[in-house]
């Protein structure tokens, strides 16, 4: 196990975590952005399984949120406003009339304090940041920490923690775009995905949840027995079409098994499993990824990656009956997601 630290411009640093089995993950202190994840295939060939920019300076704006740490609230907040304890808080409308991923100055734009660590069977970096009361329109002074951890079991573990001095919305995630074919050779259409979920949130034309929880049975949203992502991308159902011919929906986990998500790519033999204590996730199939961006391996195109954004749903700010996103002063926000890479020959 080892960690390499590379100094970049204006205080940016890139940390590369390496284990003893050929896996390496690189991340920035800027935005907590994962820039690469190098993972062996069934023949031992190590390739990048995350989509990211070729030039590190392109992460400064990063409109696609490649690999970024997202917060204070991951996802869309309807009308760029919410009510809490009788007060209405107005946020930046950076996605039409709505608020997306914490706004243009969200956690993906923060230069985080970092503390690397290393021992026999794991290596990692702790990122920390103190958000001021009113920053970005959100109430409360908040101390946030996120730990990126790589183990010798090829686990990439993300541990999120936070405390606040006022009630405030908080739900954090990472916006990594996975592509198990390696080096972006193929789109994710043939990725076989299994999700421990029989319910998802219906979207309106602005990609805002309507509050309706839909039973996924016998639809292109039922991944309990596994299916190709192409099934929904080409399904031409109303909900897949609304998302730009694919998925951009919140799935509520059943928590009937330890692994919430399993992803397989047949040609490489790579398998990704996801375990989390979050109540659900947004699965996004890069439906709006524009063509022609300069990436590590070639240029971008639609459906080149798939995101598994484990989190609570911000729709709970406007609709009852959904997992909440409000953190109170006497609580500690503590969430964990584990991405494990393996081979199936």
Catalytic residue numbers, as ranges: 175, 309
DSSP state of 165: S
Q: Environment class of residue 18 by beta-carbon count within 10 Å: exposed (0-12), middle (13-18) or buried (19+)? A: middle
Those residues whose C-beta lies under 8 Å from the C-beta of residue 297, and which sit 6 or more positions away, are: 48, 183, 184, 185
Q: In this structure, how many other beta carbons lie within 10 angstroms of the beta carbon of residue 291?
A: 9
Residues 6+ positions from 340 with CB-CB distance below 8 Å: 153, 154, 155, 156, 272, 273, 274, 275
62-96 burial: b if 16+ Cβ within 10 Å, else e:
bebbbbbbbbbbbbbbbbbbbebeeeebebbebbe
């Amino acid at each position: 196990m080892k960690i390499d630290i590379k100094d970049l411009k204006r205080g940016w640093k890139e940390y590369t975590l390496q284990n003893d089995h050929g896996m390496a993950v690189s991340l920035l202190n800027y935005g907590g952005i994962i820039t690469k994840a190098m993972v062996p295939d069934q023949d031992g060939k190590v390739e990048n399984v995350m989509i990211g920019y070729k030039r590190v300076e392109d992460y400064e704006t990063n409109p696609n949120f490649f690999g970024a740490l997202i917060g204070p609230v991951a996802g869309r907040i309807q009308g760029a406003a919410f009510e809490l304890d009788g007060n209405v808080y107005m946020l930046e409308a950076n996605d039409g009339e709505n608020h997306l991923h914490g706004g243009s100055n969200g956690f993906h734009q923060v230069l985080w304090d970092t503390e690397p660590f290393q021992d026999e069977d794991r290596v990692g970096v702790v990122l920390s940041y103190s958000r001021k009361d009113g920053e970005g329109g959100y109430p409360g002074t908040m101390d946030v920490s996120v730990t990126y951890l790589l183990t010798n079991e090829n686990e990439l573990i993300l541990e999120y923690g936070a405390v606040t001095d006022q009630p405030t919305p908080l739900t954090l995630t990472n916006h990594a775009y996975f592509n198990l074919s390696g080096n972006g050779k193929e789109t994710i259409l043939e990725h076989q995905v299994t999700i421990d979920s029989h319910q998802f949130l219906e979207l309106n034309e602005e990609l805002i949840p309507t509050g309706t929880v839909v039973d996924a049975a016998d639809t292109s949203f039922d991944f309990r027995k596994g299916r190709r992502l192409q099934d929904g991308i080409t399904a031409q159902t109303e909900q897949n079409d609304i998302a730009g011919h694919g998925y951009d929906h919140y799935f509520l986990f059943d928590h009937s098994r330890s692994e919430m998500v399993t992803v397989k790519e047949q040609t490489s033999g790579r398998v990704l499993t996801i375990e989390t204590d979050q109540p659900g996730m947004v699965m996004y199939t890069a439906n709006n990824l524009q063509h022609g961006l300069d990436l590590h391996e070639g240029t971008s195109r639609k459906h080149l990656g798939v995101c598994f954004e484990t989190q609570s749903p911000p729709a709970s700010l406007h609709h009852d009956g959904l997992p909440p996103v409000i953190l109170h002063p006497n609580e500690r926000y503590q969430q964990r997601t584990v991405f494990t890479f393996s081979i199936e020959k």
